[in-house]
Structure 1
Amino acid sequence: MFSKEPKFTEVNLYRLLVLWTVFLLLLSCSDLFKKEVKKKPIARVGDSYLYQEDLAPLITENMSKGDSASFAVNYINNWASDQLLLSRAKINLSEDKLGEYDALVDDYRTDLYTRAYKEALVSQAADSLITQKQLETFYEQGKENFKLKERIARLRFVALPKNFMNKDEVGKRLKRFTPEDVRYLDSIGVQFNKLNFNDSIWVRYARIFEEIPPINVDNADKYLKKSQFFELEDSIGVYLGKIEEIKDINEIAPLSFIKPTIEQVLLSRRKIDYLRKLETELLDEAIKDKEFEVFENKK
């Protein structure tokens, strides 16, 4: 048996109104207990206010009282000038210009937010690992695009103080460079002004000129030759070096030299592909959920 449906009497209506009033009172009381934080204004232009909270983070601990006071005055004056110019601009610029600039501001805001969101998504989801196989494949497929625009070389060298006692021994071992020679040179390396034993790394000529001042643009062809050994001196010390290999302008760059560039290209392509896929999925999902639709323009 079904129970009788309760009648909506005046008593029930009265009780409902009482309950609703109590609820509103409790809600308002909870807001009263919240501590109201009032911002302290330090300047005003029209209806715009500059608050102490806006200025405080810009005052650093290393500022003296005089510097902080001067900074505050300049900041307030600059803020006031900007606000006054803005208000004058809104009055004197045409409606078309104001609309045009408002649209630009909206576009910039949208671009700023979406770009930051995309970067966050990419950093979280996109794979940043580039394998050696991927590097080699990309390199082999586009070798002609990797011609050198500057000269590079592989070399090992040491810079010795003037009157270094074992210069000849160091030179002999630097030329021969067996594992035993490497251990010997490493053991006395603290006595050198400079050293570079990693002759598998390609170095720009400009960097060589910086590290070995006696070698420069004018005499580079004389000293920077394949298998060349050099001994040079300046006012600071003596430089001993052995050139392993050189690459000239317009030669194909070695993979190891342009590896960082290729990695950036591959990562950039991967990022673009990921964002395209993301945007497609977002549109498809929005259409499916009826969140996005395009209306037909019926004439």
Structure 2
Amino acid sequence: MKDDNGIVLARVHDDYLYESDLKNIVPSNISHHDSIVIIRNYVNNWVKTKLMVEKAKFNLTDEQQNFEQRLEEYENSLIIYEYESKLIDQELDTSINQTELKTFYLNHVSDFELKENIVKVYYCILNKQFDSIQHIEEIFNLPDSLIIDSLDIMANIYNLNYSIDTANWIAFEDLKRIIPIETYNQDLFLKNKRFIKISDENNIYMLKFVDFKIIDDISPFSLVEKKIKDIILAKRKILLTNKVRKEIFDHAASNKDFEIYYNE
């Protein structure tokens, strides 16, 4: 359809959508088929939106449709947010040393209780056809100080699936996705198991617990270090924005840029 204003794509009551309204909607580097799909979806959404607005206007009172104050508040919030974001990017001190991090940790230990059981482990996953299973098990019975080098050597020779990373904690539930551990009481299991050897249809799994912490224990510092950094930075952002707001207010007050007449 075409009228004096151009090609009409859709109409809702007295409101018209013209082809010219879509000039920035369709990218220039897409196929004809894709452009048709985009235009069809846009037109359908335009009609649905217009119909919903008409329905809403019919069912809302004039007072409910008065959005001027809310729009002004929203616009003000957006402007302030953009300004404060720019300010934070320019002026926020993001350097946090280990002393500050650990001091915060020690002063707020009760805030860092574990919500899940965590462990440090050595493990190795062996195909049942592997011919040195007994030797690997002997390695797991060595003192911890010898396991790492011995297992690392064997794993590299035979390209084994293993882990000797005891610098990082792993959630027990995540470990169960690697090793098919079955237990109905994780706390009791962790307190009573040091080495486990289990198997399934294809593999044999060997695992040695180096350390563990259970739910409600205090999280190790290494596990919450990033969270503490985020908390400290969030507090600094609040302090910075509050400081700037006060400076703006005080400067305006000294210049008599505003007056407050309400004195109740």
Normalised by the size of structure 2, how large is the TM-score?
0.79
Residue by residue over 1:52-104, the C-alpha shift from the partner in whole angstroms, topping out at 9 and shown as x without a partner, is 333124x874xx644431331231232244345546756875432232x2222
1:191 is aligned, of 159, 163, 166, to 159
Match of 1:12 in 2: none
C-alpha distance in 2 between matches for 1:85 and 1:152: 51
Change (3 A) 1:172 1:222: farther
1:255 is aligned, of 211, 221, 227, to 221
Match of 1:118 in 2: 84
Change (3 A) 1:145 1:282: same
Q: CA deviation at 1:276?
A: 1.0
**1:49-128 correspondence runs (5 A):** 51-57=21-27, 61=30, 65-83=32-50, 85-86=52-53, 93-99=60-66, 101-128=67-94
Change (3 A) 1:85 1:150: closer
Q: Which has the higher contact order (CA 8 A, sep 6+)?
A: 2
Match of 2:201 in 1: 235
Residue by residue over 1:223-282, the C-alpha shift from the partner in whole angstroms, topping out at 9 and shown as x without a partner, is 534771111111231111110112122222221222222222112111111111122222
Change (3 A) 1:266 1:226: farther
The question of whether the paired residues in 2 share the 8 Å contact of 1:152 and 1:246 is answered with yes
The question of whether the paired residues in 1 share the 8 Å contact of 2:8 and 2:16 is answered with no
**1:215-234 correspondence runs (5 A):** 215-218=181-184, 220=186, 224-225=190-191, 228-234=194-200
Match of 2:173 in 1: 206
Aligned-partner SS, 1:295:
coil
Q: Is residue 245 from structure 1 mapped to residue 199 from structure 2 by the alignment?
A: no
C-alpha distance in 2 between matches for 1:286 and 1:41: 54
C-alpha distance in 2 between matches for 1:84 and 1:54: 23
Matching residue's letter, 1:191: N
The question of whether the paired residues in 1 share the 8 Å contact of 2:136 and 2:151 is answered with no
Residue by residue over 1:115-165, the C-alpha shift from the partner in whole angstroms, topping out at 9 and shown as x without a partner, is 233223213321223221112111111222222222111111111222212
Change (3 A) 1:284 1:222: closer
Match of 2:3 in 1: none
Q: What is the aligned-residue RMSD (CA, Å)? A: 3.2
Match of 2:102 in 1: 136
Pair member with larger Rg = 1
Matching residue's letter, 1:212: I
Q: CA deviation at 1:205?
A: 1.2
C-alpha distance in 2 between matches for 1:237 and 1:219: 24
Q: Is residue 166 from structure 1 mapped to residue 135 from structure 2 by the alignment?
A: no
Aligned-partner SS, 1:240:
strand
Change (3 A) 1:84 1:146: closer
Aligned-partner SS, 1:119:
helix
The question of whether the paired residues in 2 share the 8 Å contact of 1:223 and 1:230 is answered with no
Match of 1:294 in 2: 259
The question of whether the paired residues in 2 share the 8 Å contact of 1:226 and 1:243 is answered with no
Matching residue's letter, 1:294: E
The question of whether the paired residues in 1 share the 8 Å contact of 2:126 and 2:204 is answered with yes
C-alpha distance in 2 between matches for 1:118 and 1:236: 58
Q: CA deviation at 1:297?
A: 4.2
Matching residue's letter, 1:136: K
Gaps of 5+ in 1: 1-39
Match of 1:267 in 2: 233
Identity value in percent: 25
The question of whether the paired residues in 1 share the 8 Å contact of 2:195 and 2:208 is answered with yes
Normalised by the size of structure 1, how large is the TM-score?
0.71
C-alpha distance in 1 between matches for 2:70 and 2:252: 26
